[in-house]
Structure 1
Amino acid sequence: MDGPFISLKQEELLVLKSKKEWNEKERISIQLNVKIMHTLFCALGPDKYNRESSCSNAKEI
């Protein structure tokens, strides 16, 4: 239950934060991203879904 992780850039280093370390703003942002991804996946046809299902966030889709 310690994942998933979100990445933060701090002085050119990529730092991973565990779910326990998320603040309220990060939690809301992640929830909205998941909701948008679900909506987009529901709107896609089977051929486009297979191509886009490997994306990790809504912006990539």
Structure 2
Amino acid sequence: MTLSGYWEFPDGKVEENESLEEALIREIKEELHCDIEVGKKIHSSTHQGGEFRFLFHSFSC
């Protein structure tokens, strides 16, 4: 399955000893070269992808 040509939200993994907010700031800086201020958490959801379970968090920024 290819997702070429589709929009995707920036994402990444939380590193050891890193908060969700710190990971979000780092990932946005790495992927979009932007500085952000993280607001409140909006939503969390899970998705089962084969043998992997993904946990997604959304924040206001």
Structure 1 or 2: larger strand share?
2
TM (norm. structure 1) is 0.26
Structure with greater Cα Rg = 1
Structure 1 or 2: larger helix share?
1
